[in-house]
Amino acid sequence: DELETGESANSITCYMKETGCSEAMARQHINGLIDESWKRMNKCQIDGSPFGKHLVETAINLARISHCTYQHGDAHGRPDSKSKNRVVSLIIEPISIM
């Protein structure tokens, strides 16, 4: 989406240009980096960290938001029909409780 709208290149494109690998290989590499980062953050949460508990929780919550945006797209910058339907179902057409 970013390349179609003329925005800056994403991590996959940068890695492809840096190494000359295919898009599939670049995606696999980036997903591996994401997985390793989650492991390290979860370890900090379980084993303790030199940083305060609230800072670690905030960092993990920001990572969750970023990961969700990375996986499912930016619903605010360029919403698709799926994102619009989620908002409509939550706000405009709430579930009635009888």
And the tokens for 84? Answer: 């619009």
The answer to whether residues 62 and 38 touch, using CB atoms and an 8 Å cutoff, is: no
Ranges of the chain with pLDDT below 70: 1-9, 72-80, 83, 86-87, 90-91, 94-98
Helices 11-19 + 23-47 axis angle, to 10: 120
Which residue type does 71 have? Q
> Which tens digit of pLDDT belongs to each residue from 4-24?
666 666 888 899 999 999 999
- What is the reported pLDDT for 71? 72
Contact call for residues 67 and 34 (beta carbons, < 8 A): yes
Residue 29: Cβ within 10 Å count: 16
Q: How many residues are given for the chain?
A: 98
Neighbours of 15 (CB within 10 A): 19
Does pTM top 0.95 for this prediction?
no
